[in-house]
Amino acid sequence: MTRTEILFGKGTLTVEHDDDCDVLRPDHAKVLSDQAGAVAEALAKPIGSPPLARIAKAKVGGQVVIVISDITRPVPNAKILHPILDVLRAAGHKSEAITILIATGMHRPSTPEERVELVGSEIVGEYRIVDHRAEAQEKLVVLPEPTASGTTVWIDRLYAEADLKIVTGFIEPHFMAGFSGGRKAICPGLVNLETIQKFHSPDFLEHPKATFGVLEGNPCHVEAIEVARRVGIDFLVNVTVTTEQDITGVYAGDSDAAHQAGCAAVAEAMGIGVRRQYDTVVTCGGGYPLDTTFYQTVKGMCFAEPFVKQGGTMVIASGCAQGIGSDIYLDIMRRYAGGRWRQFIEDIKASDRVEKDQWEYEMQCRVLRKVGVEGLRFVTDGVDAATLSDCSVTPAPGCGESGRSAQETLNELLSSIRRDRPDASWAIIPSGPYILPRT
């Protein structure tokens, strides 16, 4: 038997398998030998833009806002921020005029401990750090005209009124917006609830181009980039990373040109051809911080879906250390438990109302169309089986039981599947959603 490690929480789980099992790994780019130096060089020699130092010098005396991703995204923020802050200080900007704005979208605010994890204690101690609050109308301003899709957009006031707007983030394949990074830090990262709901509405998500690796004609991308262009980005700093958050590439400068260059690099490095489909696919939620909730684990399901046969079995392992996600999200799934997910799709298509977090269940339904609830097998030590049974998955026997490890649960589940279907074809996706299926 061969052993393959899959990402799980802050560690890994081991999958034992025969040699004829295909292990599907992307050809990640190499880690940069001098990551901080590469960021500094990209700031000085950007793509389609003057150097950051020149832009910053022209804005001395004004307010600076630097946008970063929240704790659910594995962005090496400190490695990005220190070179940026060095440039700003050298240009004459004072620390009290610089705000680091966390693009939470609809996610919860950060905790003090998470802020230290996000940017490091030195930056926490010196700079103002603020969470975007999509529901706080008094902290938002409205853009003058609706978007082409008819959305009236409210944007974070701190960002909209800043004199120098710097946006950071990382680029990876995204299961509805094509790729992360770039414009997504603004929309949905810094907008109001109604805009986020439109961005995640069935009008957008049921579109065939609202999927990973597609930008042109993708309604999510079209909406987000229109919002970002209207509110403006003075300088973009995006990176590509390994699953250990080491930087493999830096794409800085013009928000459109730099992002497009990064997307092209990601497509090359993370692509895996879908040459066949398998009876059983074993995957994961991507490890920490992405797999801290069931909500985020849906991404791992969606990226594995092209590789599994119709009526096949998908096994997904996820730490879920913070549980399912929001209470609203769990309530939606409970309403459609017992195999009623098809009714959910019919209901949201017929409704003008978009509930918070319904979009994640909608994306899960793409997988359910392929394998059904009975074929979507879930392994975790963070959520009990009774709760998981309300989430349109089939929990592995022993899931979430006290004193029982996820490794034990996974081993027994895989042994059971092998006994039931000894001739089945198998594949493993060790990095979960950190791939780009190429059909």
**CA gap 123, 100 in Å, rounded:** 9
Q: Measured between alpha carbons, how far is 256 from 266 in angstroms, rounded to an integer?
A: 15
Residue with tokens 């150097």: 51
Q: Which two tokens stand for residue 64?
A: 């600076």
Q: Which of 17, 28, 93, 107 is catalytic?
A: 107
Sequence-ordered list of residues with C-beta below 8 angstroms from that of 132, at least 6 positions apart, any chain: 101, 102, 103, 104, 105, 156, 189, 190
Rounded CA-CA distance 383/183 in Å is 34
Q: Which of 93, 132, 174, 259 is catalytic?
A: 174
User: Which tokens hold the place of 168?
Assistant: 């950071």
Residue 196 and residue 188 in contact, taking contact as beta carbons nearer than 8 Å: yes
200 is catalytic: no
- Asked whether 89 and 96 are in contact (CB, 8 A), the reply is no
The neighbour count for residue 83, using CB atoms within 10 Å, is: 23
- In the residue annotation, 17 being an active-site residue is answered as no
Task: Give the three-class secondary structure for 196.
Answer: helix
Residue listed under structure tokens 């970063």: 68
The rounded distance, in Å, linking the Cα atoms of 80 and 169 is 9
Kindly list the catalytic residues. 107, 174
